[in-house]
Amino acid sequence: MAIPMNLHHLRYFMTIAEEGSISAASKKLLVGQPALSAQLKQFEDWLGVDLFNRTGKRLVITQSGEFVLKYAKAIHSLEEELMANLSHAGELSKKEFVIGAQESVPKSILASAISVMNKVNPVKIRVIEGTGDELFQLLLTNKIDFFIGNFRPMNESKEMLYHSLGKETVSVWGSKKYSILKKNFPKSLDHKPFVLPGFQNQMRHDFERFMLQTGLAFEVTVEAQDTSLQKELATRGEGMIILGDESAKFLAKTGSIFKIGSISGIKEEYWLGMVKKNIDNESIKTIMASF
């Protein structure tokens, strides 16, 4: 009688599939090769299929193996979700949601999102701010429930859900020394210095396409994903930045930066995102459906 499947079988199988051999998986798992081979044989016997074709020391996953691997990864993801949320199980009745918001998100956008959440299902909401990368890692590890930012990060191991919270006009902004470039905009931007976000930012792609279409060149003096850093560098005159008008409002009022000109056809979009959970929280589902 075949030994029933357990989580060790799944973990060992996934590692062997990733490494391509028993010996490599043995080193990664710190499990002896004979024991690992025996575990794989038990798993195959229980399933009644061959998961790999043996070609020398290499193992080539079979079609059945590929099919099983999809389920193994899903079960492993569910196991991780369970362990991450188990310590918070007693807090579920408190109905507290944690929003991670990029520091660059306009407070009007953030406040509107909170208002929608409270209208749908009055709860205690806690907001933490940080960079996009920091917050996305917190989202993936279930430390926050929602992410609000100006980009849609992707992750191969997690299914992400997004909803657009709105768009705003994007303009070129710079310190006082660049204000002369308002004349003859956008041609005045030719060969001028910029502080730009990384290539994962959609606005960066849109800006480069705009400059290419208008036949203009530009110099990237600094590449920084953090919008707060972009603003600080702009106020110091290190280069011009592309920024939503609402996001630039405060610095513009203080005279720290000046609008050089609005870029036709480019909008900054803000997103509400979350990781699709295997065990869905009904309150979170209701909130996402309300936007």
The conformation of residue 62, written as its DSSP 8-state character, comes to -
Distance CA 241, CA 167 (A): 18
Q: What is the pLDDT of residue 95?
A: 64
CATH 3.40.50.720 is the classification of domain 90-165+271-290: no
Cβ(93)–Cβ(185) under 8 Å? no
**Second CATH level (architecture) for the domain 7-86:** Orthogonal Bundle (1.10)
Question: Domain 167-268 class?
Answer: alpha beta
3-state secondary structure labels for all residues of 228-290: HHHHHHHHCCCCEEEEEHHHHHHHHHCCCCEEEEEEEEEEEEEEEEEECCCCCCHHHHHHHHH
User: Could you report the per-residue pLDDT of 1-33, keeping only the tens digit for each?
Assistant: 566 778 888 899 999 999 988 899 889 988 898
In 10 A of CB 45, how many CB atoms?
12
Q: What is the pLDDT of residue 1?
A: 52
Per-domain residue ranges for the chain? 7-86, 90-165+271-290, 167-268
User: Could you report the per-residue pLDDT of 262-284, keeping only the tens digit for each?
Assistant: 998 888 888 898 887 655 566 66
Q: Is the dihedral of CA 207, 209, 211, 216 positive or negative?
A: positive
User: Could you report the per-residue pLDDT of 137-167, keeping only the tens digit for each?
Assistant: 888 888 888 999 887 767 666 778 888 898 8
Comparing 114 with 89, the larger pLDDT belongs to 114
pTM as predicted:
0.57
Distance CA 110, CA 108 (A): 5
Percentage, residues of the chain above pLDDT 90 = 33
Same topology, domains 7-86 and 90-165+271-290? Answer is: no
Q: What is the pLDDT of residue 141?
A: 82
